[in-house]
Amino acid sequence: MKRVSRSALAAVILLVMFTVALNASGPTGGSLKKPTYAAGDQWVYVLEGSLTTFPGFNASQGPLKFTIVGFVYVNVIGPATVLAGTMSIPSVRVDSRATGFLNGTFAVPNGGTAQVRGSFTTSSTEYWEDQAYMAIESRSTSSYHADVTYGITTSLVADLRLTATTSVSTIPPFDLDVGQNATAELSTHAELNSTFSVFGQTMHSQNETNVSSMWRRDVLARENVTVEAGTFSSYRLNQTLTNFPVIPTGLSGGGNETAYWSNDVGFYVKRVAYENGTPAAEMRLRSYSFGAGPPSGLSATQIVLIIAVPVAIALLLAFLWWRRRKARIQGRTSPRAPSAPDGPQQGGNDRAR
């Protein structure tokens, strides 16, 4: 029995080692993989960034310098259809929300600098075409509420509403390996409405513009990235920044980001946005979950091990039980061998006579 138990343990260890080796060596020959999104998929990020201007306000209204800290929630709602002229474009609806706090300074028109402390909320609805997951239609609102201290304390309220539609000349490929890139020509029509209230004055601004830009994604390397959610094998990308929560970019062009994409996560694990070469914001994955898939935070290797090890143990226990039962049955059905005499045979009554 001891020999069988050692064999069973050795078999389990070999199975675990084989499973780990299989999952560890499998992705090395892979590439950036296009995920399949389902309703309920969610990614939560830690957000750190800064704002120096609000779009729609000119320089005479005073520069801003806000430090922003918060969270971003990205949720897949499900499949949808976007009408572009007479065409119906299959897409995926994705809702995002950002909340957090801001702290910084505000230059007042009469001179001097005011201290600003407050909060912000941003919500958006985007429709991603289902080939490369590029946003072709979006609506977003951002609200900033803060207390401004400049001798006295007053309220600052800023509300931004952005609506944008984008057409893509040719859908770029999604599956790319290290050293490869993809480009696409974008034509965006954007409408921005802003309301800004401070020191008893309210200013409104409305802008409408058409922007032509070139989107590009370069796959630079494959490396492990550690964030709040764990360590992930990721692809480091340099790509044109089309959208980033809280940081309104893309209206004047020039934005780019360093992004880290994980096939296991199905989305970015880290994004660093730049404006004119200066870091403007950073998002780091805090948690994630899938609406119809593996639970949050488990890698493919962990999932396989969780499934494979109990199955292997159950099979081995069944085999041992079968062996023992078979031995008992054989013991009952085998004929008993005659017992050997205790000593030499003696005559029956000869001695008695």
- From the number of C-beta atoms within 10 Å of its C-beta (0-12, 13-18, 19+), residue 109 rates as exposed
Give the start-to-end residue ranges of the domains of the chain.
30-307
Quick one: pLDDT at residue 308?
A: 47
Cα dihedral 82, 88, 90, 91, rounded to 10, equals -10
C-alpha to C-alpha distance for 147 and 43, rounded to whole angstroms: 31
The pLDDT of residue 205: 86
pLDDT, mean of residues 94-116: 84
Q: Check whether 18 has a pLDDT greater than 60.
A: no
Structure tokens that stand for 26 in this block: 């499998």
Count CA within 13 A, CB hemisphere, residue 36: 2
**pLDDT of res. 56:** 47
* pTM greater than 0.85 (yes/no): no
SS (H, E, C) 268-302: EEEEEEEECCEEEEEEEEEEEECCCCCCCCCCHHH
Report the distance separating Cα 27 and Cα 309, nearest Å: 22
- pLDDT tens for each residue of 142-152: 898 888 888 88
Q: Where are the beta strands (DSSP E) in the chain?
A: 42-51, 64-84, 87-107, 113-129, 135-150, 152-168, 181-198, 201-227, 230-240, 255-262, 267-275, 278-289
Q: Which two tokens stand for residue 174?
A: 């999604």
Strands 201-227 and 278-289: unpaired
Q: Could you tell me which of 128, 161, 323 has the C-alpha nearest to residue 242?
A: 128
Q: Which residues of 204-214 are buried (b: 16+ CB within 10 A; e: fewer)?
A: ebeeeeeeebe
Q: What SS3 class is residue 146?
A: strand
* Beta carbons of 168 and 182 less than 8 angstroms apart: no
Question: What value does the mean pLDDT of the chain take?
Answer: 78
In the prediction, which pLDDT does 43 show?
97
Confidence label for 254 from pLDDT (cuts 50, 70 and 90): low
| CA–CA gap between residue 122 and residue 286 (Å, rounded) | 18
Please tell me the predicted confidence (pLDDT) of residue 158: 87
Tokens of 202: 């309210």
Q: Spell out the residues 6+ positions from residue 170 whose beta carbon is closer than 8 angstroms to its own.
A: 184, 185
Which has the closest alpha carbon to 46: 241, 268, 221?
A: 268
pLDDT at 246: 64
At residue 49, φ and ψ (nearest 5 deg) are: -165, -170
Rounded distance between C-alpha atoms, residue 212 and residue 220, angstroms: 26
Contact 112, 148 (CB under 8 A): no
Q: Answer with the residue of higher pLDDT: 30 or 289.
A: 289
- Nearest Cα to Cα of residue 260 among 290, 294, 284, 286: 284
Are 225 and 198 a contacting pair, CB within 8 Å?
A: no
Mean pLDDT over residues 266-278, rounded? Answer: 89
pLDDT of residue 324: 67
